[in-house]
């Protein structure tokens, strides 16, 4: 699994876990603090830029990102919509399979002819 795909998978998993409790609304620093409680470590600036540059991939996984700016803060608003994220494709398309699917991310079994070789 390429580094970029692995990183996206880790971010998606951490955000899904966080967002099962409901929508997140706060700064990147607030988000980093919540993710650290789950064992994920990011710097606020890097995480914010990463989320914004991968918002399409996150949306395909049901994680919707909105950014807002006030006079004093930059806010991230995240929510998880499970019906969208039932089929989550974080793959780069190289193997024709996604890393998340309706089978819960289980790898497919080899076909009979493959077992014989």
- Per residue in 79-103, pLDDT (tens digit) is 999 776 555 655 544 444 444 444 4
Residue 102 is assigned to a structural domain of this protein: no
Q: Work out the pLDDT band at 61, boundaries 50, 70, 90.
A: very high
Beta strands (DSSP E) in 42-104 are 63-69, 74-80
**Mean pLDDT taken over the chain:** 79
pLDDT of residue 83: 73
Residue 69 is assigned to a structural domain of this protein: yes
Rounded to whole angstroms, the Cα distance separating 14 from 114 reads 35
Residue 55 is assigned to a structural domain of this protein: yes
Number of domains the chain contains? 1
Residue 110 is assigned to a structural domain of this protein: no
* pLDDT average, residue stretch 24-46: 89
Residue 97 is assigned to a structural domain of this protein: no
CATH number at residue 28: 1.10.10
Please return the burial class of 15, using the count of CB atoms within 10 Å of its CB with bins 0-12, 13-18 and 19+. Answer: buried
Rounded to whole angstroms, the Cα distance separating 46 from 91 reads 22
Domain span at residue 41?
3-89
Would you say the pTM of this structure is higher than 0.85? no
């Amino acid at each position: 699994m390429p580094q970029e795909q692995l990183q996206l998978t880790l971010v998606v998993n951490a955000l899904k876990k966080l967002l099962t409790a409901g929508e997140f609304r706060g700064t990147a620093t607030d988000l980093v603090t919540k993710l650290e409680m789950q064992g994920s470590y990011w710097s606020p600036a890097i995480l914010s830029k990463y989320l914004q540059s991968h918002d399409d991939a996150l949306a395909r996984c049901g994680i919707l990102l909105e950014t807002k700016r006030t006079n004093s803060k930059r806010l991230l608003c995240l929510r998880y919509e499970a019906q969208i994220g039932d089929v989550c494709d974080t793959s780069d398309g190289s193997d024709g399979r996604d890393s998340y699917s309706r089978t819960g991310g289980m790898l497919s079994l080899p076909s009979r002819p493959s077992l014989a070789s």
